[in-house]
Amino acid sequence: MSRRRLYLDPAPGEDRAVVTLDGRPERLLRARADDPADPPLGARYAARLARIDRGLACGFLDLGEGAQALLALSGPAKTLAEGAALEIEIAAESRRGKLAQARLIGAGLGPARRLDAPVTLLDRLRAFAPDEPVIEGDEARERADEADAEILAIEHPLPGAGSLSIEPTRALTAIDVDLGARTGDAKRLARQANLTAIHEAARLLRLKGLGGLVVIDLVGEGHDGAALTEAARAAFAPDQPGVVLGPVSRLGLFQLATPRRVQPLSERLCDETGALSAASLALRLLRALEREGRADRGARLLARCAPPVAEAALAYARPLTDSLGPRFEIRADSTLPALRYEVSAS
């Protein structure tokens, strides 16, 4: 029976929470000290319908304090007029270039504002497995680092042998299954690889925060569509409601759609070029400093890194000063590339 475990990694500037499924990261939640005030999934607001675009059949909502969301003008929302006071719930978080999506609850009262209390990272984590203990310490740090690495990776090994590659595009997420160097009955091996890949794809899509149209390029030919559909129904059950499974095409493509609910994690970690942002690199540097400081409690620590990373790290460094004291220095070094940093103790 599948089992989920919970891990919490508090760290300077950013706390990370991990849900694992049978020992592999399935979800990564993170809370940074300077998180933008984007409306989170499930939050409820009193909103004002600031503007209507009839051509797109949508309305732009003012949620207060600069927050915005989009409301589809369908069903009961079709007759709304600009300026209407509404109560809404966030059904999908914002993505790069896209506003958060709202669901209409009904008429609202008062100024635009958030109505419910913010949920802590720990409470969000516990919601995935309420009866499981929350593990902290070195094991939680390892799990969070493993989750970060899988989020950024394109190719992922399959248990046994073979691999799958996950590449999001503007239109869809493409997944390619590769049999690898397996030897034996080709048809049996292809079936096994495809069934395993479907379960791994479901886990990785949840981990990466990806949704929308998904196309899986299966390995082999003569696929058992019923078995693959049943495997997908079980693998994507945690994403219901809203998962739509299509048939396997003659070309060996399995199409499905999953709801877009959370911001893709790569957008939190990377800049618009797809490279790790200075903030993400700075937080990695601070975790390395913290680790070194705990290993040698009397040493003075020096971190050298590229200037943009140093600037970002200094903005997050207060919690590290509180825990280690003023015995570390972050020094900008223009000779170092952005992805490289060095931590030494003396």
Interatomic CA distance for residues 265 and 319, integer angstroms:
24
Q: Residue type at 135?
A: I
* Residues forming beta bridges with residue 107, ordered by sequence position: 86
Interatomic CA distance for residues 273 and 108, integer angstroms:
40
* Residues forming beta bridges with residue 248, ordered by sequence position: 254
* Residues forming beta bridges with residue 80, ordered by sequence position: none
Class of domain 276-345: alpha beta
The predicted pLDDT at position 213 comes to 97
The predicted pLDDT at position 1 comes to 56
| 289 Cβ contact list (under 8 Å, min separation 6) | 12, 301, 303, 320, 324, 328, 330, 343
Phi, psi of 255, deg, nearest 5: -105, 140
**Where in the chain are all domains bearing CATH 2.40.50.140?**
44-114
Q: Which pLDDT tens digits describe the chain residue by residue (346 residues)? A: 578 999 999 999 999 999 999 999 999 999 998 887 789 999 999 999 999 998 999 999 999 999 999 999 999 999 999 999 999 999 999 998 899 999 999 999 999 999 999 999 999 999 999 999 999 999 999 999 999 999 999 999 998 888 999 999 989 999 999 987 666 777 888 899 999 999 999 999 999 999 999 999 999 888 999 999 999 999 999 999 999 999 999 999 999 999 999 999 999 999 999 999 999 999 999 999 999 999 998 899 999 999 999 999 999 999 999 989 899 999 999 999 999 999 999 8
pTM of this prediction exceeds 0.75: yes
Structure tokens at 127: 């919601």
**Where in the chain are all domains bearing CATH 3.40.630?**
153-265
CA-to-CA dists, residue 257 to 68, 243, 267, 300, angstroms: 26, 6, 20, 52
Structure tokens at 196: 């395993």
Structure tokens at 216: 């899986």
Interatomic CA distance for residues 301 and 310, integer angstroms:
14
Cβ–Cβ < 8 Å for 190, 219: yes
Taking every pair of Cα atoms in the chain, the longest distance, rounded to a whole number of angstroms, is 69
CA torsion angle 51 53 57 59 (round to 10): -20
CA-to-CA dists, residue 275 to 16, 76, 144, 325, angstroms: 20, 42, 19, 32
**Where in the chain are all domains bearing CATH 3.40.1260.20?**
276-345
| 298 Cβ contact list (under 8 Å, min separation 6) | none
Cβ–Cβ < 8 Å for 147, 5: no
The predicted pLDDT at position 35 comes to 82
Domain 153-265, what architecture?
Answer: 3-Layer(aba) Sandwich (3.40)
Q: Give burial (CB, 10 Å; 0-12/13-18/19+) of 311.
A: middle
Helix axes 225-235, 186-208, angle to 10 degrees: 30
Helix (H, G, I), strand (E, B) or coil at 312: helix
User: What is the CATH superfamily name and number for domain 44-114?
Assistant: Nucleic acid-binding proteins (2.40.50.140)
Phi, psi of 108, deg, nearest 5: -115, 170
Cβ–Cβ < 8 Å for 242, 203: no
The predicted pLDDT at position 176 comes to 97
Rg of the chain over Cα atoms, rounded to whole angstroms, equals: 23
CA-to-CA dists, residue 198 to 41, 77, 152, 241, 282, angstroms: 26, 37, 19, 18, 35
